[in-house]
């Protein structure tokens, strides 16, 4: 099917240049045109992720921004407006969630977004739009690191850094679901929260050195990187010989593989893929009650700058979500 010909405008949270959180502001921009296999979605809620914050600040994927004003935001929950062809499995009015490739295409912090059919799935029936919007990027990242890359299984010992965060609280649940003994690092206020998600031990990073109390781990899922308190390098001390470290923050530890190899430890990074098939599996786990979604708070789209500041300040439990429109009846 050809691109839709009528291009209307929409309200979006944009930046005109990279910089501080104050660069974010509401603006009227062109609504994206749906082409090829893409679906046009009316966004109801969209989450804010650390990659959005890094990109807005001039790091992250900012080098790939082709033009300004730029709309950020990777994941969303909303309602189908247009589909590629009449017999498409998705229909206008369907409730869906997924991920887009920002900044290759406009982001989700806007009233509408276009997304490949391969990156879009029906929403969990058990979630409202705000909770659903919190899932795709964080849960797919956690699944990719814990399940696809580390292949965590019954009887393994797994250490997850920053377990109370957006990706972390899913990673703890996935590792526990597949039978691992899960240790995670967190502040004391998040200890009970993480135990309720399946963590067997919570290491208080403010008073304990995790490498001293969590030894001989089979897998480390590092969601912090080596930029803070040498978390990555210290993680090598927590792993058994032949163990595996999966580091998610890209570019935080250029010498990771060499350092790990010298210690007889396997090491890899991980970059999320917006795969609707995996998202459908996660949907079933959510609807079965095996996985929970935690929202720290929901803010209106106009307060996107505040959401960025909260993430930069740290200590967000679970996810932050922007409300774009009221839940449809």
The CATH number for 123's domain is: 3.90.180.10
- Are both 99 and 199 inside the same structural domain? no
**How many domains does the chain divide into?**
2
The CATH number for 235's domain is: 3.40.50.720
Q: pTM of the full predicted structure?
A: 0.95
Q: Are 53 and 311 in contact (CB under 8 A)?
A: yes
Residue 328 forms part of a structural domain? no
Residue 259 forms part of a structural domain? yes
- Are both 103 and 175 inside the same structural domain? no
- Are both 179 and 88 inside the same structural domain? no
Return the bridge partners of 159, or none: 183, 220
- pLDDT tens per residue, range 252-276: 899 999 999 999 999 999 999 999 9
Residue 274 forms part of a structural domain? no
- Are both 199 and 311 inside the same structural domain? no
Per the structure, the complete domain to which residue 243 belongs is given by 138-269
- Are both 130 and 152 inside the same structural domain? no
Alpha helices in the chain (DSSP H): 50-56, 129-133, 136-143, 166-177, 191-197, 210-213, 231-238, 256-262, 276-287, 304-313
- Are both 153 and 263 inside the same structural domain? yes
- List the chain pLDDT tens, one digit each, 329 residues: 445 555 699 999 999 999 999 999 999 999 999 999 999 999 999 999 999 999 999 999 999 999 999 999 999 999 999 999 999 999 999 999 999 999 999 999 999 999 999 999 999 999 999 999 999 999 999 999 999 999 999 999 999 999 999 999 999 999 999 999 999 999 999 999 999 999 999 999 999 999 999 999 999 999 999 988 899 999 999 999 999 999 999 788 999 999 999 999 999 999 999 999 999 999 999 999 999 999 999 999 999 999 999 999 998 999 999 999 999 98
- pLDDT tens per residue, range 149-198: 999 999 999 999 999 999 999 999 999 999 999 999 999 999 999 999 99
CA–CA gap between residue 328 and residue 296 (Å, rounded): 22
Residue 2 forms part of a structural domain? no
Neighbour count for residue 180 (Cβ, 10 Å): 26
- Are both 172 and 249 inside the same structural domain? yes
- Cis peptide bond prior to 69, omega within 30° of 0: yes
- Are both 123 and 203 inside the same structural domain? no
- pLDDT tens per residue, range 293-307: 999 999 999 999 999
- Please tell me what DSSP assigns to residue 307: H
């Amino acid at each position: 099917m050809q691109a839709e010909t009528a291009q209307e405008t929409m309200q979006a949270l944009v930046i005109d240049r990279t910089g501080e959180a104050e660069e974010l502001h509401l603006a009227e921009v062109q609504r994206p045109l749906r082409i090829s296999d893409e679906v046009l979605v009316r966004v109801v809620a969209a989450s804010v992720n650390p990659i959005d914050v890094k990109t807005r600040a001039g790091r992250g994927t900012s080098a790939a921004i082709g033009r300004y004003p730029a709309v950020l935001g990777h994941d969303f929950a909303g309602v189908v407006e247009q589909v590629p062809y009449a017999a498409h499995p998705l229909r206008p009015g369907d409730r869906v969630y997924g991920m887009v490739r920002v900044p290759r295409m406009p982001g989700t912090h806007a009233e509408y977004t276009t997304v490949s059919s391969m990156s879009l799935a029906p929403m969990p029936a058990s979630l409202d739009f705000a909770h659903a919007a919190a899932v795709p990027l964080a849960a797919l990242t956690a699944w990719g690191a814990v399940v696809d890359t580390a292949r965590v299984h019954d009887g393994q010992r797994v250490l997850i850094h920053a377990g109370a965060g957006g990706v972390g609280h899913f990673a703890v649940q996935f590792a526990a679901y597949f039978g691992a003994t899960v240790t995670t690092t967190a502040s004391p206020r998040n200890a009970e929260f993480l135990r309720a998600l399946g963590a067997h031990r919570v290491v208080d990073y403010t008073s304990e050195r995790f490498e001293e109390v969590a030894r001989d781990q089979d897998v480390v899922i590092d969601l912090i990187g080596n930029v803070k308190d040498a978390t990555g390098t210290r993680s090598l001390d927590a792993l058994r010989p032949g163990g595996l470290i999966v580091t998610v923050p890209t570019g935080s530890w250029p010498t990771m593989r060499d350092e790990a190899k010298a210690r007889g430890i396997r090491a890899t990074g991980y970059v999320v893929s917006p795969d609707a098939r995996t998202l459908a599996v996660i949907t079933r786990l959510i609807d079965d009650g095996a996985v929970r979604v935690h929202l720290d708070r929901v803010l209106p789209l106009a307060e996107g700058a505040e959401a960025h500041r909260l993430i930069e300040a740290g200590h967000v439990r679970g996810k932050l979500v922007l409300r774009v429109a009221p839940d449809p009846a």
